[in-house]
Amino acid sequence: MPAYHSRSAPEGRLAGYLLTLVGERDFATLSAELIPLIRPPGPDPVRGALYGGVLGWLVAALAEVVVARLGDADHGESFVLEVHTTAGRTLGAEDLPAREGRFGRAVLALLAGDRAAARTELCDAETEPDPTVRATTLVEALIWLDALLGADTTDFPDTP
């Protein structure tokens, strides 16, 4: 398990707290908690420095939940990520914009055992200067993990 996924580290505790807020649909408190967390990297090392660890914890947790629910990919197979848009399009991880698709690509890389690629995506997300992109990335991670934790395993498609 990656070091950034420690459940006792401040990042793990904060990620768990944020995930609880999403599960309780307490978006007002979630917003207040995210504001200092999504500040771009800079001289204020307190809360903003936790961003990368929180995101890394969420990536590792989501990958663990996928494997726990679906099992490991068989030899020669891999997990895929598809996003269905409101316009009816289906996008794969490679079709997502570079900045906006970091979380999904990090999860897929971790599921494929490519820790270097996952770390690259996470480092890029951590050093992202745009607070809107930082917030969107973190909120998407929280929502995806919350949804997967609440999903009935029988809702997942059968393997071919």
Q: CA dist 26 to 4, 132, 141, Å?
A: 26, 20, 16
Cα–Cα distance, 86 to 4 (Å, whole number): 34
Cα–Cα distance, 15 to 10 (Å, whole number): 8
User: What are the φ/ψ torsions at residue 69 (nearest 5 degrees)?
Assistant: -85, -40
Give the pLDDT of residue 4.
Answer: 43
Q: State pLDDT tens for residues 14-45.
A: 999 999 999 999 999 999 999 988 887 666 55
Q: How many CA atoms lie within 13 A of 40 on its CB side?
A: 7
Cα–Cα distance, 53 to 75 (Å, whole number): 31
Beta bridge partners of 92: 82
pTM, two decimal places: 0.81
Give domain limits for the chain. 3-155
3 touches 11 (CB < 8 A): no
Give the pLDDT of residue 58.
Answer: 95
Q: Which residues contact 95 (CB under 8 A, 6 or more apart)?
A: none
**30: its two tokens:** 């979630």
Q: Which residues of the chain have pLDDT under 50?
A: 1-7, 160
Q: State pLDDT tens for residues 110-121.
A: 998 999 999 999
Nearest partner of 137 among 112, 103, 160, judged by Cα: 103
Give the pLDDT of residue 84.
Answer: 78
DSSP code of 82?
A: E
Q: Is 82 exposed, middle or buried (0-12, 13-18, 19+ CB in 10 A)?
A: exposed
